[in-house]
Amino acid sequence: MAHFSLIVACMVPIWLKVAAPHFVDASFASLYEGTLFPFLGVLTVGISDSSAAMVGSTWGKRKWPGQSKTFFGSIAGFVSLCVSLVVLSKHEERPWGPLLVASLITSLSEVFVTGNDNFTLPVVFVYSMVVLQQR
């Protein structure tokens, strides 16, 4: 199941890109342009979630209240997601504010999602970007 959910997580942004014209106003098309969008599943699950798990289980001591995840793991997931976004979007004219806020929302949602978060993290990031671009 873990391998299947990882593949699905990597495909979620691409499926959302296909479905977006039916659900999202055309003024948000800039979100789906460029090199960043197809990699959001890999970034949120493959890099951010994985680094949060590795760092949190290795060095994390203090846990979130009522959770098994650590503060240090969450910080590592957020930082790795931000660094990955900077590397991938360095040649694009994209505002950094929404990317950082969406990264923070995604990292915090990873803490409180119960069950398999591989499906929800890419959706949370994309939805956060859509909402933040409306402002």
Q: Angle formed by the axes of helices 96-112 and 71-88, to 10°?
A: 150
pLDDT digits (tens, 9 = 90+) for 33-54: 666 777 888 888 889 988 999 9
pLDDT (average), residues 27-32 = 58
Global confidence as pTM: 0.83
Residue 98 has pLDDT above 80, yes or no: yes
* Confidence tier at 135 by pLDDT (50, 70, 90): low
Closest-CA residue to 105 (of 130, 87, 86, 84): 130
**CA 17 – CA 41 distance, rounded (Å):** 12
Element (H, E) at 132: helix 120-133
Tell me the two tokens of residue 124: 């949370």
Q: Angle formed by the axes of helices 2-23 and 120-133, to 10°?
A: 30
**CA 44 – CA 61 distance, rounded (Å):** 23
DSSP 63: B
